[in-house]
Amino acid sequence: MSNLQELSQAVRLRRTDMGLTQTVLAKLSGLSRATVNQVEQGSIKDLSLTRASRLLGALGLGMAVEPPRTRKQAARAPAASALSLAAQMANVSFRNGISAEQLQDVICHTSVPMHLMPQVYTFLEEAPVSLLARVVEELHSDCAIERWQIWQNMRDLARSLKSSRALWV
Q: Three-class SS of residue 89?
A: helix
Biggest CA-to-CA distance, the chain = 52
Q: What is the pLDDT of residues 40-61, one digit of tens each?
A: 999 998 889 999 999 999 999 9
Amino acid 71 reads R
Comparing 71 with 21, the larger pLDDT belongs to: 21
Banded pLDDT at 95 (limits 50, 70, 90): confident
pLDDT in tens, 96-119: 899 999 999 999 999 999 999 999
Domains of the chain: 3-58 (1.10.260.40), 82-160 (no CATH)
Q: Is 104 strand, coil or helix?
A: helix
Burial of 118 (0-12, 13-18, 19+ CB in 10 A): middle
* Tens-digit pLDDT profile for residues 13-24: 999 999 999 999
